[in-house]
Structure 1
């Protein structure tokens, strides 16, 4: 199983509304809302994308697991494409 980590050049800071990621080399910031921050924290703590999606579906009864699986995968893809996270 792959483990998600922040790219070595990226730092994270919690904010009142979520989290900010800073690419220290490029000098670019990314802001995650509360849900995005919750997802990223869980992934960084070792949860699998499926576990995170299941947790979101339980937390928000109007969302299906299919939807949350898709949303978690989209977030991972976006963060990976921006070179903010890596899998090991």
Structure 2
């Protein structure tokens, strides 16, 4: 599930995660560090399993919870039109 951002969106990493900006609308979403890890993993070519594994390794979170977090964030980004 390697993903790409829609052309109207830009992702910028920050000291506290990342910001996802819709350039035409001027709206943005603040991603916490775990959200930023998920998005950068998926945009970097990892599939959902890879993003889950990185969450588990980085934050020592339960794999089931990590899977739900990945799936939820991807669903939210798709609903916002951020992914293609």
Spell out the pairing of 1:1-88 with structure 2 (5 A cutoff).
2-61=1-60, 63-86=61-84
- TM-score, scaled to structure 1: 0.86
Higher strand share: 1
**Structure whose CA Rg is larger:** 1
- TM-score, scaled to structure 2: 0.89
Residue 77 (structure 1) shift? 0.5
Q: Unpaired runs of 5+ in structure 1? A: none
Residue 67 (structure 1) shift? 1.2
